[in-house]
Structure 1
């Protein structure tokens, strides 16, 4: 009974706001400005979609390209680095383990320092560049994902490592051919969660990747809302377009996400 109530409450919490966005995206500018939860008197879904795609010389298309490149490259780097770090920390304990664990946890607790980070990026010539933004997203996502991989690594028997070493596998081959395929559930979890986080990131591109030519999807929301005039129908259409990719990922990979997050919680 309580489960059904929880499911119904969750459906209301998530579906009602989504329906509100769809209705506002289909309204005229005058109707949308009232922000009323009502049925549109005139459906303008396709015209609003065209207006959003053509706004500011197609900035939304450039933003989707920038966000896609940023998301794919940073997620690949984060997944590989976090998997290797989690493997080494779990399988190869050393006297530096306590220090490394401190810095991993510090990455979750200590907030990013914006001004010093900008100063460093300017010093190495990576400010306002895609490479610099990729490194920022990769670094900020490492700590949490290292902990996920390390927890999952405890479920993999050490005997597999020993058997591979006896067969002549080196460290790199052992990790890539034996360990990494067994990490598939947590890899899917990290890829989906990190991809959604990077794709929906607003603050970091605003600080470290400014400029219309560098716009990401979240920054395009500024195009339709200003101090004196706001086009709420186009704003909500933009929100709808931005929401679709993460929503599709969660719909298709929700079971893998749960499996990856809960693996390693119970050992044995």
Structure 2
């Protein structure tokens, strides 16, 4: 027993050390360099700054005609509308796919699972948005983000709905509830744990998305927070102090969100694995 405890303690220490090296050290490196002057930051060293340059953070906000403020507005709008659309669509779809057992829902389940494996195609997506005359708009970007996240979110909702007793719905039907009213008044309030999981996972994914806005949402007025990192990287010279300050600033909102809801992420994902 003593040997087992020692091995467990040793494993805990090794795990904590590995987590520190993987997650904490890079954050300290970025934070330290964000407080250095340009010359010192360009050396890319882990050492503390010789002089703390706090004005780097204010300079990031004012750089390039306050583009970071515009980027924050675009990223917040994109995140809010995308997550809201995913909650509405995926909760209803997950409920129907779990409760109905016919050939159509089996085919829909197969297509949903395929969506988890098939990678997105950039050129066909651009061709479709151009054909619909919505390319380069916030609406098209929201639709793209929703389409990319739908398969995984439906899977989460479908698994969680399987843990809800069907007797609750039968009681609702007896009391005269129609299907939509029964879903809104009885089922959806019970989906709070998985909805919290969907909110945090998709908010982090959409807010931190770099590739899709780069391809599908071009233009200075459409810049998102991740694309502002380009402001401080050039072909001949780079301002790593401002780049790292920008990284810290755009990390803070999602870091706070993750700290608040981190327990709900696990609860929502594990609850659906019990049944369904």
Aligned counterparts, 1:23-172, within 5 A: 23-45=32-54, 47-172=55-180
Residues of 2 paired with 1:85 and 1:94: CA distance?
Answer: 14
Paired residue secondary structure (2:31): helix
Is the CA contact (8 Å cut-off) linking 2:68 and 2:228 kept in structure 1?
Answer: yes
Q: Shift of the alpha carbon at 1:266?
A: 2.0
The aligned length equals: 267
Unaligned segments of structure 1, at least 5 residues: none
Residues of 2 paired with 1:116 and 1:183: CA distance?
Answer: 35
Residues of 2 paired with 1:83 and 1:7: CA distance?
Answer: 37
Residues of 2 paired with 1:55 and 1:239: CA distance?
Answer: 14
Residues of 1 paired with 2:171 and 2:182: CA distance?
Answer: 10
CA RMSD of aligned residues (A): 1.2
> Where do 4+ consecutive residues of structure 1 move more than 4 Å?
none
Q: Shift of the alpha carbon at 1:141?
A: 0.7
State TM-score, norm by structure 2. 0.94
Task: Check if 1:221 corresponds to 2:247.
Answer: no
Paired residue secondary structure (2:134): coil
Partner of 2:25: 16
Residues of 2 paired with 1:239 and 1:111: CA distance?
Answer: 28
Q: Shift of the alpha carbon at 1:94?
A: 1.8
Deviations, residues 223-258 of structure 1 (Å, cap 9, x unaligned): 000111100000000111111111111111111000
Residues of 2 paired with 1:92 and 1:238: CA distance?
Answer: 48
Residues of 2 paired with 1:249 and 1:8: CA distance?
Answer: 25
Deviations, residues 65-93 of structure 1 (Å, cap 9, x unaligned): 00000000110001111100000000122
